[in-house]
Structure 1
Amino acid sequence: MKNAALSLILLFSIPLFASNKAEGTINVKSVNVTAPFKMPAIKYPDFAKCKRLSITDFGAVRGDKGKTTQAIAKAIEEANKQGGGVVVIPEGEWLTGAVHLKSNVNLHLNKGAVLLFSENPKDYLPAVHSSWEGLECYNYSPLIYAYQCKNIAITGQGEIRAKMDVWKIWSKRPSGHMNSLKRLYYMAYENVPVAQRMMVNGSANFRPQFIQINRCENVLLDGFKIRNSPFWTVHLYLSKDIVMRNLDIYAHGHNNDGLDPEMSQNVLVENVVFDQGDDAIAVKSGRAPEGWRTQTPSKNIVIRNCTMKNGHQLLAVGTEISGGVENVFVNNCHTTDSVKMFNIVFIKTNERMGGYVNNIYVSNVSGGKMDYGVLGIETDVLYQWKDLVPTIEKRLTPIKNIYLDNVKASSAKFVSRILGNKELPVENVSLKNVSVGTMSGNQKNIQENVINFSTGK
């Protein structure tokens, strides 16, 4: 009995010791953020006191994809076992497959380092728990993937780059892709377990995100460059306490949003350069039944001091919005006069989404040439889904409390166009000091189904 008791004591002391070691190695910092709403301090990890582990010490060889992929995985495993560590990518170009982060690990890119990600889809198998356009599924691994992690970071002055050969072909969305997307839509409504929603087959062609932070907390993304992406570039999914700063993002492929916070909370984005083929920032919260079941809004998101060199919208909200979006503050963000976008702010939903939009604040923002306007709100945006599948369950999206102050575009068709739903009008839209330098349309503010719209100085 005495030996048995001693064995139990030793058994249960192991995880406690590991936990204490992790807490002592990593310093969790917090940043206080000023916003027009109550904003909690955002926690993020500091790895200054952690051991640095170079991937070359684990067998990485430049030009050898297999050895480098294995070396990165081994270094991450060791850093995690130590309770905290910095996995260093040295100067030079390193070809790799998928990188899976673990808790208490900082992936650090030295100046002059390029982590080049393979274009071979097989390098992103086995499939992982992910999502595609707001629907959960098992899909090819994102190029950098973190799942249920705490205290993680990607830092440094280096670069991550995606080879695009195959992803460019997949972006054309052949018939097999659309059929798989339809099948996934029905599985979501039928509440089929996510583990059974396998989207890796011969024809689905669901491109992976570049970076997906999935169900994680205490995250830092700081300093590095991103070049190219198969799909959404940085996807924050069901995660909280995230600081994203000093990044330089360029991705001009199909669906290349720069940042997609989806059902994520307590997020600070600052001093980031976005150069995108789609929306610079698109705040989302799940598609239809996914967002309704999860009931986790995207909330408390502050975006400040960013530059948008290209993109469809500076800020988009939706269309995947079923979990709700509230408390978003964009401040002191700008484009150059030569930049051409659709709108500065675009809020989009449809009769299938439900969810809600509440408390969107945009101030001290300037944009270049807008194809449409400074502010757009539309409640019947379906894109490829319009003829792909029917409306199974109708749920409208309440949209209210939208505030723009000191926002201008060099040229546009109109200042605002709000196309609300007749059954559920948009409420409380305030435009103060919002202007267009050269307006090509005949109507400054276009409105359908709006309650309490105001403009002024």
Structure 2
Amino acid sequence: MPVQATSVRAPFDMPGILVPDFRHSRRFQITEFGARPGDKQSTSIAIARAIRAANAAGSGSVIVPAGIWLSGKIHLESNVNLHLARGAILRFSDDPQDYLPPVQTSWEGIECFNYSPLIYAFDCENVAITGPGRIEPVLDRWKIWSARPKLHMDALVALYDMAYRNVPVADRQMAIGQNNLRPHLIQFNRCRNVLVEDISIRGSPFWTLHPLLCRDVTIRRVSIQAHGHNNDGVDPEMSQNVLIEDCVFDQGDDAVSVKSGRDMDAWRLATPCRNVVVRNCRVLNGHQLMAVGSELSGGIENIWVDDCHFVGDGRGGDDHAVPINNLLYVKTNERRGGYVRNVHMSRVTATTLAGSVLAVETDVLYQWRTLLPTYVRRLTAIERLRVSDVHVQQAQSVAVIKGERDLPIQDVRLSRVRVERVSGTPTIVENARDVTLPAAVGRNGASALGADFKNSRRI
């Protein structure tokens, strides 16, 4: 199976990324394996048979031709490319039974056995999803499951408790009762040499594209519109050597969110997320352009966002628009541990931000604040954040940096950052050391050198 090495320029030592090359691989048409439009069962069986045949041949592209194809789960295998031809629509069922038996996956940074992701690959090498076609899941059931009734919250507490007690992952069975843990749309779990290219995605039950514990991942020219609850665009988690480029994001949550696991489970896996480059992407809608955390207990380092732009008007593509809060948002809490270091953002523009160009918060717990107490207190070391050449029309602030008194944030530098209109306090810095801020923030903004510094030192 041929692979190509892509060289990626970055402000850190970025290894070449291995990309599988299916241009000369044999093609396997799903219609030749019995797929029929409008028939979920025959199409699901045909896709599975075509994937097995492509794998047995040594490499191959499984072709989904033009038309609307109903499907249950798709499990990829090594040396297989799922190719959606122009005009092809994969419409996934919202029947939970179609995603059983459970597979090894995760829920917000904790490993478990849950409903299969709609497209899933586990421990695969040279695996791809390509083509100009579209993935369009039915969402009716998943929208109901996105509510947070007590039984669902009880299930999250039970899963956290299992991780705390180091219960084997195989015994963390969550696809039972009314736990209602929604599946990911696409998850690559423990894979090498992953390619996702040119596809369009319209809707997702949960996180949209989730490379977990992967190495050498390329995601390019992908268009995502997913406005449901927890609908991040791409969530590289405990993955290394990742390139995300030329994509369009229209999200109900973060566009890109880099993660490395939650608390005890991530300490057990001890695998940082490292060497992630996001370049030349456009965001129409979403909470943050780049989020780091809050699941970051395995550590995050060497991240670069370059030549990316929030171009939306705050309305998104439909009536589920959410305001973009921050361009770069680092979030953690006293339970996470881990570290964040060497994060860069450059050549970014935006229209209106409800938050800041840079926000760092160390007390982000969401619903977990009341769900359970802090079992183990481990602070997150945060250092070497760089933001440069940013132009924003309007924002609440330029930078809000809130560290822990016991472990201040270190070495933050903003340069050539311009916000035309600042509606709140230009900068707030608490518990940070060696912070460099821009001398001015825009036509009506107060000088950043007059910012609110608490328990901090600037240079």
Q: TM-score range by the shorter chain?
A: over 0.9
Residue among 296, 299, 305 paired with 1:321 = 296
Equivalent position amino acid for 1:426 in 2: I
Asked if structure 1 preserves the Cα contact closer than 8 Å seen for 2:285 and 2:312, the reply is no
Superposed counterparts of 1:213-362, under 5 Å = 213-336=188-311, 338-339=313-314, 340-362=323-345
Distance 2:438 2:399 in 1: 14
Shift of 1:456: 3.9
1:444 is aligned to 2:419:
no
Asked if structure 2 preserves the Cα contact closer than 8 Å seen for 1:228 and 1:253, the reply is yes
Residue among 26, 34, 48 paired with 1:51 = 26
Structure 1 gaps of 5+ residues are 1-25
SS at match of 2:141: helix
Asked if structure 2 preserves the Cα contact closer than 8 Å seen for 1:341 and 1:368, the reply is no
Shift of 1:437: 1.2
TM norm structure 1: 0.93
Equivalent position amino acid for 1:455 in 2: L
Q: Deviations over 1:299-324 (max 9, x none)?
A: 00000000000000000000000000
Equivalent position amino acid for 2:423 in 1: S
Distance 2:2 2:83 in 1: 17
**Structure-2 residue corresponding to 1:401:** 384
Structure 2 gaps of 5+ residues are 315-322, 440-459
SS at match of 1:371: coil
Shift of 1:455: 2.3
Residue among 157, 164, 168 paired with 1:189 = 164
Q: Across the two proteins, how many residue pairs are aligned to each other?
A: 431
Distance 2:260 2:132 in 1: 31
TM norm structure 2: 0.93
Equivalent position amino acid for 1:299 in 2: R
Asked if structure 2 preserves the Cα contact closer than 8 Å seen for 1:337 and 1:410, the reply is no
**Structure-2 residue corresponding to 1:22:** none
Asked if structure 1 preserves the Cα contact closer than 8 Å seen for 2:284 and 2:312, the reply is no
1:423 is aligned to 2:409:
no
Equivalent position amino acid for 2:32 in 1: D
In structure 2, the CA distance between the partners of 1:160 and 1:337, relative to structure 1 (3 Å rule), is closer
Percent of aligned pairs with the same amino acid:
53
Distance 2:438 2:95 in 1: 54
Distance 2:310 2:232 in 1: 16
Residue among 117, 123, 148 paired with 1:142 = 117
**Structure-2 residue corresponding to 1:8:** none
SS at match of 1:206: coil
Residue among 343, 363, 379 paired with 2:362 = 379
Query: Which is worse superposed, 334-343 or 61-70?
Result: 334-343
Q: Deviations over 1:85-133 (max 9, x none)?
A: 1000000000000000000000000000001000101100000000000
SS at match of 1:405: strand
**Structure-2 residue corresponding to 1:4:** none
Runs of 4+ off more than 4 Å: none
**Structure-1 residue corresponding to 2:186:** 211
Distance 1:337 1:410 in 2: 12
Asked if structure 1 preserves the Cα contact closer than 8 Å seen for 2:283 and 2:312, the reply is no
Q: By percentage of residues, which structure has more helix?
A: 1
Asked if structure 2 preserves the Cα contact closer than 8 Å seen for 1:328 and 1:361, the reply is yes
In structure 2, the CA distance between the partners of 1:337 and 1:52, relative to structure 1 (3 Å rule), is closer
Distance 1:338 1:227 in 2: 20
